[in-house]
Structure 1
Amino acid sequence: MRNIKLTIQYDGSRYKGWQRLGNTENTIQCKIEKVLSTLLNENIELTASGRTDAGVHAENQIANFHTKSNISTNTILNHCYKYLPYDIVVKKAEDVEESFHSRFNVSQKIYTYRICNSTFPDVFTRKYSYHVTEKLDIEKMKEVASLFIGTHDFKSFTALKSKKKSTIREIFYIQFKPSENGIDIIFSGNGFLYKMLRILSGTLIQAGLGKISPREVKEILDAKDRSLAPDTAPSHGLFLTSVLY
């Protein structure tokens, strides 16, 4: 039995997210599994580094699957390129050790939230960045971001419904990188909860607009109550940038 690791790029605009769903085939996982199953003549099930929400993109999503087939990784790549939709690309396919697991072996995930901060939206990036017309104060955003660094209970910053799953996560760093017409917020951590990054991004944007203070954010973090945190930022500005093992 072979264990094959895939590096995948996708535009999530048209899809219901990564995860296979029972009521639709319009997910990234479903599209790739269908193409691989046809090629390998097996029922292929992908395991990803994590789920991305509907509308979220990935530059380097990692997934793996097991197969009995001896078909070369180069053939797998070419087949995926030929039969997958234009907005999903398998960039790399490689044989890895049996013990490799795309989700359990992750040591760090890096996401980028892209903001267009100008009077008018950019026609060519409007689908891939959140347009904020008012000028953002980056120093205020950095001050609030510092509160999230380290290990915290992020219950106030997730839409997770389960009471059994831990809401404690570690954020390694949050960086702010100027772009041509705005700013990219880069998040690095050991993992992120459901909608956590979009809620954190929404909070940082509110801080940049002067609508929420560091003291208020600290109180929200300590309260562990989602209803107190700012609105969730739109999904189309979020990218899974890389996954490290």
Structure 2
Amino acid sequence: MQSQIAPYTNWSSEQFIARISDLESQLKSQNIQEAPPQAEQRRRRKPNQFDPSRYNTRFIALKLAYLGRHLNGYEAPGDTIPPAPTVEEELWKALMKTRLIFPRIKRKGRKTRDIYWEGCDYSKCGRTDKGVSSFGQVIGIRVRSNKPLPKTSQPQNNTASKTSDMDAAEASERTVEGIADPVDVEEEETPFDPIKDEIPYIHLLNQLLPPEIRILAWCPSPPPGFSARFSCRERRYKYFFTQPAYLPIPGAQGSRAGENGGSWLDIDKMKEAASYFLGNHDFRNFAKMDATRQLTNFERVIFHTDIEEIASLDDPAFLSAEAVSGSAGSDGNSSPKPKVYAFVVHGSAFLYNQVRHMAAILFLVGQGLEKPTIVKELLDVRKNPRRPNYEIASDSPLVLWDCVFPGENSEKREDALDWVYPDDPSNVAKAKTSAHGGKWGLNGLVDVMWSTWRSRKIDEVHAAQLMQVTAMRGRGLAPPSEEGRKSSQKRSIKVFDGGNVTKPRGVYTPVMKLELLETPDVINAKWAAKKGITPLELPREGPLGDSDE
């Protein structure tokens, strides 16, 4: 061997190739000999099949919040794949992964991404649209419970052996419907505290939900017959906007509040217009028609409206300068100050996009483009049965603030559900939610919200500082030149719609002179004719109790 490999310098190319091939063959045979037998390889254990029949269930209500800017609304779509996740989809995935729900699959051929709630007693209070947020959405749902099943003697029919051959859907159907083999109870049930001994629902779900969706509280004992949709007697919305509505130009025409379609809004006139919404009215001219629902009743009750001041805008500072805010406010005495406001409205129920239509009209009033009485004109459906085709307000500033469930015979509009929050004394002391983060602990409810808020607050500060620095450079807040002033006066009016970008709209056309849409009766009849459905075959609308924002 030594004599064969020593004289490498004298080897030919054929000898080198032959030697390399020989070594590769030796290495391959050595690897095969050292490999463990196939039988000795560790087998992967199959996960234990989850048996829903071994668990108790209970009906509860959940209160949740979500920031909707990057979500595709609350409701999960049917057959289409949304461009962004929905709240309902994320909630369903978290409930399924934690094995808190046992839905029954009734229809064959379901797709794996389908969401189905059969057997869960599921209901939702509002169906918020894409981009809309909520701080008080409520759902009712039947979930798994820690409460043990009654201890029993051996039954005549062995339930355990049956459920082992039963798939999860069939087993859950037995549990939910209370179908069980006859058994003899041996002893009394172990005492069970419905809060202290229960599954920490809030923490369990928040661990799996994305940061922009949070479970705020749960109700252990909703009243009999509770429906998050139909038991709700009041829904409260807030539509947030800034004052000024869009960037004001120093010395530009329309610098007074509510003048010439300018950026500074007349808050007092907006309050007056909002007050005309109060009471029971037909809101067909403040809603988007959805022919698939075949609605014929557009009356809704509004309990409360206001334009509420939220906070002052201290940054960027140049917005407070007189050159930008104008010489006087709407009252002629004081300049308007940069602030954040909210249009607040409480009602029994709302039509599709109703709040956003209401906000759009209020913004026109605030800009001085319409009088406050435009609200009265649009509410007079005998005189104006067809809605003018005005533009709806933007979606993301809108928040479903709260959903109210009064007592059955209560005349007060106050929530009567017994909500359990993470820092509830009984919840913290007994259920030990502090160990799970609770409200203030690490990865607790507020801790996660702080992270979300701070990241967006820093972005806001950066944007405000950049705008402040840019505005003060060059000639600062000096009015534009004469040529620039004439050019700005020729520009078309900007109509504020609540969004971030306000585009010129040309010469403003008053609302009552816009193109009129067809009446709801005509829209419904055309849809029914297209589907080949006669009015007698159409499902009639249920009792009022929905929110389609």
Same fold (TM over 0.5): yes
Task: Give the conservation status (yes or no) of the 8 Å contact 1:156–1:229.
Answer: no
Paired letter, 1:103: R
Query: Structure 1 residue aligned with 2:371, among 199, 202, 213?
Result: 213
Residue 234 of structure 2 is matched in structure 1 by 108
Task: Give the conservation status (yes or no) of the 8 Å contact 2:277–2:375.
Answer: no
Paired letter, 1:157: F
- Is 1:138 matched with 2:197? no
Change (3 A) 1:157 1:200: same
Query: Structure 2 residue aligned with 1:42, among 98, 102, 107?
Result: 102
Query: Structure 1 residue aligned with 2:299, among 168, 181, 185?
Result: 168
Higher strand share: 1
Out of 133-142 and 147-156, give the one that drifted further.
Answer: 133-142
Alignment length (residue pairs): 233
SS at match of 2:218: strand
Paired letter, 2:217: K
Query: Structure 2 residue aligned with 1:233, among 373, 393, 412?
Result: 393
For residue 146 of structure 1, report the CA deviation from its aligned partner.
1.9
SS at match of 1:64: strand
Change (3 A) 1:216 1:185: closer
For residue 225 of structure 1, report the CA deviation from its aligned partner.
2.5
Paired letter, 1:143: E
Change (3 A) 1:156 1:41: closer
Residue 136 of structure 2 is matched in structure 1 by 60
Residue 203 of structure 1 is matched in structure 2 by 361
Residue 16 of structure 1 is matched in structure 2 by 72
For residue 214 of structure 1, report the CA deviation from its aligned partner.
3.0
The one-character-per-residue Cα deviations of 1:171-213 (angstroms, maximum 9, x if unpaired) are: 0111111122231111011011110000100111111111112
Paired letter, 1:16: N
SS at match of 1:14: coil
Counterpart-to-counterpart distance in 2, 1:239 and 1:49: 14
For residue 87 of structure 1, report the CA deviation from its aligned partner.
0.5
For residue 89 of structure 1, report the CA deviation from its aligned partner.
0.3
Residue 75 of structure 1 is matched in structure 2 by 200
Paired letter, 1:169: R
TM-score of the aligned structures, taking structure 2 as reference length = 0.40
For residue 229 of structure 1, report the CA deviation from its aligned partner.
5.8
Paired letter, 1:209: Q
SS at match of 1:83: coil
For residue 166 of structure 1, report the CA deviation from its aligned partner.
1.8
Counterpart-to-counterpart distance in 1, 2:59 and 2:296: 29
Counterpart-to-counterpart distance in 2, 1:9 and 1:73: 22
For residue 50 of structure 1, report the CA deviation from its aligned partner.
1.1
SS at match of 1:185: strand
TM-score of the aligned structures, taking structure 1 as reference length = 0.87
For residue 215 of structure 1, report the CA deviation from its aligned partner.
3.4
Paired letter, 1:83: L
Paired letter, 2:309: P
SS at match of 2:346: strand
Residue 178 of structure 1 is matched in structure 2 by 309
SS at match of 2:140: strand
Counterpart-to-counterpart distance in 1, 2:89 and 2:68: 13
Higher RCO (CA 8 Å, separation ≥ 6 residues): 1
SS at match of 2:200: helix
Task: Give the conservation status (yes or no) of the 8 Å contact 1:61–1:242.
Answer: yes
Paired letter, 1:101: S
Counterpart-to-counterpart distance in 1, 2:198 and 2:343: 35
Residue 546 of structure 2 is matched in structure 1 by none
The one-character-per-residue Cα deviations of 1:88-146 (angstroms, maximum 9, x if unpaired) are: 0011123223422111111111100000113559xxxxxxxxxx971111121122112
Bigger-Rg structure (1/2): 2
Task: Give the conservation status (yes or no) of the 8 Å contact 1:120–1:133.
Answer: no
Residue 282 of structure 2 is matched in structure 1 by 153
The one-character-per-residue Cα deviations of 1:206-232 (angstroms, maximum 9, x if unpaired) are: 111111123333222222423x16321
The one-character-per-residue Cα deviations of 1:3-38 (angstroms, maximum 9, x if unpaired) are: 111010101111111112121362101110121122
Change (3 A) 1:79 1:62: same
Counterpart-to-counterpart distance in 2, 1:35 and 1:21: 17
Structure 2: any 5+ residue segments left out of the alignment?
A: 1-56, 104-115, 147-196, 249-260, 313-338, 406-549
Change (3 A) 1:82 1:133: farther
Counterpart-to-counterpart distance in 1, 2:77 and 2:352: 16
Query: Structure 2 residue aligned with 1:242, among 399, 402, 421?
Result: 402
Paired letter, 1:29: E
Task: Give the conservation status (yes or no) of the 8 Å contact 1:8–1:91.
Answer: yes
SS at match of 1:35: helix
Structure 1: any 5+ residue segments left out of the alignment?
A: 122-131
**Identity of matched residues, %:** 27
